[in-house]
Amino acid sequence: MSTVIAWILGIATVLGGIAAIGYFRDKWKEKQKWAEQEKIVNTNWWESSDLKLQYESKGCKEFRWSNPDRLAERIAEGKEVVFETDEENRIKYRLANKSGQVLVCRKGA
């Protein structure tokens, strides 16, 4: 009889754990989201930054400034937006210049 109770309690514990994971999963995902902000930089900062070297090591060779209203078009052309990440605060900074243009890069030959 005590073995049956032990099995029932064990199964109940496992099912309770599964239910808890299901319940808190959305909260964990929400906590893990990164915030996006814009960081104003100039060309001189970009040219001398370590971030440019990191993007070049990932294969990005061509860097350009793009108007924000043309970003979707640039992405369709195969370019990607350049981000600087702050992992401690979970923030992705989109690099822009004073006139509002966003820095994009193209990977390639």
User: What is the average pLDDT score of the chain?
Assistant: 87
Tell me the per-residue pLDDT of 19-49, one tens digit each, with 9 for 90 and over: 878 777 766 766 677 889 999 999 899 999 9
d(CA 26, CA 82): 29
Beta bridge partners of 37: 93
- In sequence order, the 6+-apart residues with CB closer than 8 A to the CB of 85 are 34, 91, 92, 93
Mean pLDDT of 59-78: 92
Q: Read off the pLDDT of residues 77-92 as tens digits, 9 standing for 90 and up.
A: 999 999 999 988 889 9
Task: Read off the pTM.
Answer: 0.68
Dihedral over Cα of 13, 19, 22, 23: its sign = negative
- Residue ranges per structural domain of the chain: 1-33, 35-107
Residues in Cβ contact with 65 at an 8 Å cutoff, skipping those fewer than 6 apart: 97, 101, 102, 103, 104
**Per-residue pLDDT, 21:** 80
